[in-house]
Amino acid sequence: MIKCLYTVCLSFFLIGLWACANDLKDVRAIPGNKLSASQTGDSVTILYTDSALLKIMVKANRLLIFEKNVSEPFTVMPKGVFVTFFDSEEKISSTLRANYGIRYEHSKRMEVKYAVEMVNKEGNKLNTEHLIWDEQKKTIYTKADIKITTATEIIFGKGFTSNQDFTKYEINEVTGTLKLKDNALNE
């Protein structure tokens, strides 16, 4: 009798666990859910131009646009983002890659996270876990730890600000080994 009661209770418990499982896609599809994407896309490429010149290309493996029931519309790129910046001659000036990105429509700001890598046309590389791109000011910045690798040096720091081409930058709390030219001390 006790063994039978134990089996029945265990069966109800397992059925209850199975019945409570929800797939995230099913939850988002509920009409009352306030945060459901109004648009979705896979393998998306977005081109930004100015006066018929290509300025920026954004590629995302998955794109979710949230416009309803939010104070500011935003776009999420949960499966990675790759941004290419172009100069006035439509040549690549820098690239930005991350495993996750979110772009805020009104403030024109993109935040990227996880394995962030930016490379400029000279081949200098920035690595960090968090970076913000201010589209209006055309700057990138972070308060996180950074690593910059050039042909001759590796620089570490905490905090960073740069133009979006990653050609002029400032590093906070610098550590690392820097190679200086002999005449640099005399100037």
Domain boundaries, the chain: 37-184
Using one digit for the tens of pLDDT, what is the confidence trace for 64-97?
888 877 788 888 999 999 999 998 888 999 999 9
> pTM for this structure?
0.70
Q: Is the pLDDT of residue 25 over 90?
A: no
Listed in sequence order, the residues at least 6 apart from 1 whose beta carbon sits closer than 8 Å to its beta carbon are none
Q: What is the pLDDT of residue 185?
A: 53
Using one digit for the tens of pLDDT, what is the confidence trace for 159-179?
999 998 898 999 998 876 666
CA 122 to chain centre: 23
Query: 96: which 2 tokens?
Result: 């930005």
Among the residue ranges 116-120, 140-144, 168-172, 182-186, the one predicted with the least confidence is: 182-186
Q: What is the pLDDT of residue 18?
A: 42
CB–CB of 172/158 below 8 Å? yes
Query: 108: which 2 tokens?
Result: 């024109």
183: pLDDT confidence band, cut at 50, 70 and 90? low
Cα(31)–Cα(43) distance, integer angstroms: 26
Q: Is the pLDDT of residue 158 over 80?
A: yes
Q: What is the pLDDT of residue 114?
A: 94
Work out the percent of the chain whose per-residue pLDDT is above 70: 74
**Tell me, which fold does domain 37-184 have in CATH?**
lipopolysaccharide transport protein A fold (2.60.450)
Listed in sequence order, the residues at least 6 apart from 130 whose beta carbon sits closer than 8 Å to its beta carbon are 111, 112, 113, 116, 142, 143, 144
Using one digit for the tens of pLDDT, what is the confidence trace for 122-157?
999 999 999 999 989 989 999 999 999 988 888 899
Cα(154)–Cα(126) distance, integer angstroms: 10
Judged on CB neighbours under 10 Å (0-12, 13-18, 19+), 35 is exposed
